[in-house]
Structure 1
Amino acid sequence: MIIGLLAALSASAAAGMRIALPLLIIGLLHSELWSQVPVLSRLHPAVLLTILISWSLFELLASKSLLGQRILQIIQLLLSPFVGALMSLTVVKTLDLNLQPLWVFGMVGGILALVLTLVQVGWFFRLRGIPIWVVCLEDILCVFLVLFAFQAPENGGLIALLLLWIAIRSSKAWRDWYKHQG
């Protein structure tokens, strides 16, 4: 059960960084092309592949400019809980883990994705834009988290928990900074 939870955390942490890229990687990793993804399995694979490739390219290119980062953050705030839940449920189904109740894993994944997205938005406003090297590191980490969710769930889950710890530390640092400003 712990390994399944760590795998779900790894996948949902990737959804907290990017929306389409983790879904695209899941589809390309498995021969069934999104048949295990709860909502996306109803769409035709060619249409879904086109949408995910287009959106992934937009995410990768737009995240390198300030306006693009802002647009992506608004969309990610709206969609990251949903995609995080989808990612965690997909990992549980794909790995054939007999974990019940599934909705708990979906909620945990969605909340983790939302928390990581909120931390990104906070850093964006605090730094007045996220540096390019951080964005590139985030893209690479997103890909590795999805790969780790299926190949090495312990490592991916530990990275996701480390990201959650960094998010908690960041919120404490923001609170202290805000107290000193007032």
Structure 2
Amino acid sequence: MTMSPMSSKKELSPEQHEGLLKILKARFEKNMNRHQGLEWANVQRKLEAQTDKLWSLYEMERTGGEPDVVGHDNKTDDYIFYDCSAESPKGRRSVCYDREALESRKEHKPQNNAIEMAAAMDIELLTEEQYRELQKLGNFDLKTSSWVKTPASIRKLGGAIFCDRRYDTVFMYHNGAESYYAARGFRGLLRV
């Protein structure tokens, strides 16, 4: 499926809609360990009823996130999608943490920041806890790292946190929020 850049109208063409559903269904069926006890037909029904969420999933896919269902919230009846790409999504790397961090750089500014990119896609950054839950489903970020939602107390002091997996262990680290690296992006989540 050809993925075109974000459009301002947040709607998919019939071809994009159909192509994305095929990709999501195939990924769902290939990775049943991520969502044991859930059925694709129920997920698809929810997706068909909320086409704005399909647009966000399309953007997650287009930027290399490989979104997949990782759970179901029985209270809200929401299906929870995380970026499940083996490494931090390629189309979301080399970004600092947020707008304030981007503006603080005097030179060599990155093209974007994680918080605003996620907001433009209508998704949320994973928290450290959610990131650790994802790592129970497989081995992710063995060569890359991913910004995670940073507590306000840390951000207020100029820092931001990121996670990765090394030595069969999930690590949480800190960095200046203005930092960016070719191997650091962010992972998102979407509730449908």
Normalised to the residue count of structure 1, the TM-score between the two structures is: 0.28
Structure whose residues are more often strand by fraction = 2
Normalised to the residue count of structure 2, the TM-score between the two structures is: 0.27
Which structure has the higher relative contact order (CA within 8 Å, separation 6+)? 1
